[in-house]
Amino acid sequence: MFETLKALNPDPILGLLAAYRQDTNPRRVDLGVGVYKDEQGHTPILECVKQADAAHRAEETTKTYVGPAGDPDFDTGIEQLIFGADHAARTARRLRTLQAPGGCGALRIAAELLNRAKAGAAIWVSDPTWANHVPLLGDAGLEIKVYPYYDGASQALKANAMFEALEKIPAGDLVLLHGCCHNPCGVDLSPAEWDQVTDITLRRGFTPFVDLAYLGLGIGLDEDAYGVRKLASAVPELIVASSCSKNFGVYRERVGALSLMLETPEQADVVFGQAQNVARGVYSMPPNYGAALVGRILRDPTATAAWTAELGFMRDRINGLRSQLADKFRTKLNSNRFDFIPNQRGMFSFLGLSKEQVQRLKAEYSIYMVDSSRINVAGVSQSNMDYVVDAVCSVL
């Protein structure tokens, strides 16, 4: 049966984690997979999550099925978090949210649903985009097309080229946008640029699809939601895949959501029913545990405030590291080559290194990053920062 299948190379991101774990160099540094790390290089369980876990275990009375749409408290909480409790699309009952197994599950269910609605529809993704977007969306049958986004020379947005490309995208196509903390480049749209994207979306009539995997890790919860809320207040239809992996630190529990905004409540009911049917045919129902904890936190204002504070701490640490890294590079190189790092948001930035330089960092210094030279800024700490900066400068 399987003789036609060939061995695959390791996943470009997850393969790094496996290689790092096998490396016995005591100075090894993991700047690969996008997980938050503290000063000790540990990915902690948030205190608010531990408390929700204790309460959940004490109160849970059954393990019976919840259903394809998942935990209703979670669905409501996430929808309010993303769009704002009083968003007009919510009050008009044009929004529906379905719990999914991680942001990946949400992306895939959306892709299957879209392919059901319009087989082979084109979806435009940014150049570059997260490597896993291509299989998650393309393997469901959507046709992947690319619009310009990141300019490696200026380490900034190719704004004009992006807008020109969007101006040519027809109605019936989809455009995938990173809501905040762009993965892999860290370059986000400003509010004015989101306004422009919204204008073009309205003029052209394509359907926006926002991937919101890092909400709250850029500038702040409301600031990071600016683009998605702007679109939701203007366009007739919107798709949002969100993840709680990073902002709640519940990576392995697989907690995400798919929010669908339609033109009318009746259409929303139809499409929501279809989405649940897609989920039923793929995994039947999402796992409950992680979403139950997030739902519990989001329905309790005290727990939500505790979470917001912990999220703020993670965000401030990442943004602080961005500034410190740029300062160290500036001092070491006597150049502003890396001054772009604090202008970017979220976990990731490209260092602008060649694949050979990235390989040397791995082979000679046990410093792991994606071949594109994407680093996870959160993997830097006070104890490894000089080592990382010196090593990078030595391979330039």
Q: Which is nearer to ligand LMR, 87 or 108 (CB)?
A: 108
Show the tokens assigned to 10.
Answer: 């390791």
Q: Which is nearer to ligand LMR, 130 or 368 (CB)?
A: 130
Smallest gap from residue 347 Cβ to ligand LMR (A): 8
Q: Tell me which of 116, 121, 122, 132 binds ligand LMR, using CB under 6 A.
A: 132
Show the tokens assigned to 27.
Answer: 């100075």
Smallest gap from residue 13 Cβ to ligand LMR (A): 4
Applying CB under 6 A, the site for ligand LMR has a residue count of 6
Smallest gap from residue 180 Cβ to ligand LMR (A): 14
Binding mask 14-43 for ligand LMR (x = CB under 6 A): -------------------xx---------
One-letter amino acid of 140: A
The number of C-alpha atoms within 13 Å of 19 and in the hemisphere containing its C-beta is: 21
The rounded distance, in Å, linking the Cα atoms of 36 and 317 is 10
Smallest gap from residue 150 Cβ to ligand LMR (A): 15
Beta-sheet pairing, 348-350 with 374-376: antiparallel
As a whole number of Å, the CA-based R_g of the chain is 21
Binding mask 223-262 for ligand LMR (x = CB under 6 A): ----------------------------------------
Backbone angles phi, psi at 150, to 5 degrees: -105, 135
Which region holds residue 300: left if phi is over 0, alpha if psi is between -120 and 50, else beta?
Answer: beta
Q: Which is nearer to ligand LMR, 87 or 246 (CB)?
A: 246
Binding mask 176-215 for ligand LMR (x = CB under 6 A): -------x--------------------------------
Q: Which is nearer to ligand LMR, 259 or 376 (CB)?
A: 376
Point out the residues that are catalytic.
130, 211, 246
Q: Please say whether the beta carbons of 51 and 303 come within 8 A.
A: yes
Smallest gap from residue 243 Cβ to ligand LMR (A): 8
DSSP letter (8 states) at residue 348: E
Q: Which is nearer to ligand LMR, 33 or 358 (CB)?
A: 33
The rounded distance, in Å, linking the Cα atoms of 217 and 318 is 8
Cα 178 to Cα 208, 209, 245, 254, 330: the distances in Å are: 10, 9, 16, 20, 29
Q: Tell me which of 36, 74, 124, 130 binds ligand LMR, using CB under 6 A.
A: 130
Q: Which is nearer to ligand LMR, 33 or 228 (CB)?
A: 33
The rounded distance, in Å, linking the Cα atoms of 166 and 160 is 10
Smallest gap from residue 33 Cβ to ligand LMR (A): 4
Residue nearest to ligand LMR (CB): 34
Intra-chain end-to-end CA distance of the chain, in Å: 48
The rounded distance, in Å, linking the Cα atoms of 95 and 238 is 9
The residues binding ligand LMR (CB under 6 A) are 13, 33-34, 130, 132, 183
